[in-house]
Amino acid sequence: MLESILKSIFSAGTFQQMLRSATPVALAALGGSLTEHAGIMNIGMDGMILMGAFFGVLGSWLFASAAAGVVLAVGVGLLVGLFFALFVVKLRSDEFIIGCALNTFALGLTGFLSRSIFGASGTKGNPFLPSLRLPGIESIPFLGKILSGNSLFVYLTLLFVLLLWLFLYKTPYGFWLRASGEKPETLRTAGIDPAKLKWLASILCGVFCALAGAHLSLGQLQGTFAENMSNNRGYIAFACVIFGAANPPKAYLAALMFGFFDAIGLRLQEYLSADLTNLIPYVITVVMMVYVVVRAQQRKKHRARSALAQKGKSA
Per-chain mean pLDDT for the chain: 89
Per-residue pLDDT reduced to its tens digit, 13-39: 889 999 999 999 999 999 999 999 999
Over range 252-265, report the average pLDDT.
90
**Domain assignment of residue 301, yes or no:** no
More confident residue, 286 or 44: 44
Q: With cut-offs at 50, 70 and 90, classify the pLDDT of residue 231.
A: confident
Q: Count up the domains in the chain and report the number.
A: 1
**Domain assignment of residue 184, yes or no:** yes
**Domain assignment of residue 197, yes or no:** yes
pTM over 0.85: yes
**Domain assignment of residue 267, yes or no:** no
Largest Cα–Cα distance in the chain?
76
Cβ–Cβ under 8 Å, residues 123 and 61: yes
Over range 80-93, report the average pLDDT.
94
Q: What is the pLDDT of residue 315?
A: 57
Q: With cut-offs at 50, 70 and 90, classify the pLDDT of residue 171.
A: very high
Q: What is the pLDDT of residue 311?
A: 67
**Domain assignment of residue 259, yes or no:** no
Q: List b or e across 73-99, with b for residues whose CB sees 16 or more CB atoms inside 10 angstroms.
A: bbebbeebbebbbebbbeeeeebeebb
**Domain assignment of residue 15, yes or no:** no
Q: What is the pLDDT of residue 194?
A: 93
Distances (CA, A) of 312 to 64, 298, 305, 307, 309: 72, 21, 10, 9, 5
Q: What is the pLDDT of residue 268?
A: 81
Helix, strand, coil shares of the chain, percent, nearest 5, are: 80, 0, 20
pLDDT at residue 307 above 70? no
**Domain assignment of residue 275, yes or no:** no
Closest by Cα among 171, 195, 170 to 185: 195
- Show the domain range for 89: 22-251
**Domain assignment of residue 102, yes or no:** yes
Residues in contact with 24: Cβ distance below 8 Å, sequence separation at least 6, in sequence order: 49, 212, 213, 215, 216, 220, 233
Q: Give the Cα separation of 280 and 53 in Å (integer).
A: 24
Beta carbons within 10 angstroms of residue 261's beta carbon: 19
Residue type, 57: V
